[in-house]
Structure 1
Amino acid sequence: MKHALHSVVFGLFLASTAAIADDMPTIKLLMKDGRLFPETLEVPANTRFRLEVKNEGPGATEFESLELKKELVLAPGVTRNLVFFPMKPGTYKFFDDFHPETGQGKIVAK
């Protein structure tokens, strides 16, 4: 009985976590051939959001932001998500660590 109760509680936790995640705005970023599309991402300030990163290039890419302490490596053809906590209004740099010369971008929280 105790195990069944834990399963129910865990199931409710997952359902509530999914519901919270579905309420977040999703911002999309495409990485391809060492380029970022778009290079500037506008996000709502003071709001959690999801960044959906897709690699359409033939090689690996890496979304990285030192100031936001985020890093995500993507193999070719892979799409993954990063969740960001609310940001104060401002501009935050990010880059493709495998293509630092051409893969420069910024997140603008308004």
Structure 2
Amino acid sequence: MSRPPRIAAIAALSLAACAAGSARADDMPVIKVEMRDGVILPAVIEVPANTRFKLEISNTGKSPVEFESTELRREKALAAGSTSAIVFRTLDAGTYQVFDDFHPDAKATLVAK
């Protein structure tokens, strides 16, 4: 008879943990980046250093794009008209180069400070 209360307690703790995790995700800074047919806007992307954040990338162009950074070891391909995100746990203060792998002339700088 002691098992049902234990299961209920575990379920309650699981729900509380999920709620706490989603609350933290909602509090995370979101930095928006637009990619459009060979252009990355803004050209200098400022993000918080040593803080978890989300980079929301929107492709507003008519061709696919790929947000990429060799230094950060991150890449994200997006179809025309789509939006996606990359969550960074933390970044050390510094400057990182990013580019559109499908449009080699499209470059930007991500600055963590």
- TM-score of the pair, normalised by structure 2: 0.85
The equivalent of 2:112 in structure 1 is: 109
Q: CA deviation at 1:85?
A: 1.8
Cα displacement string for residues 35-94 of structure 1 (whole angstroms, at most 9, x for unaligned residues): 001011111111111101000011111111111111111111111111112111110111
Distance 1:62 1:7 in 2: 41
Percent of counterpart pairs with the same letter? 47
Quote the RMSD (CA, aligned, Å).
1.7
Distance 1:3 1:80 in 2: 37
Q: Which amino acid aligns with 2:48?
A: P
Matched, 1:62 2:66: yes
The equivalent of 2:100 in structure 1 is: 96
Show structure 2 runs of 5+ residues with no match. Answer: none
Q: Which has the larger radius of gyration?
A: 2
* Moved >6 Å (runs of 4+): 2-6
Number of aligned residue pairs:
109
Distance 1:67 1:6 in 2: 42
Matched, 1:74 2:78: yes
Distance 1:100 1:3 in 2: 55
Distance 1:5 1:107 in 2: 45
Cα displacement string for residues 84-109 of structure 1 (whole angstroms, at most 9, x for unaligned residues): 121111101111100012x1111111
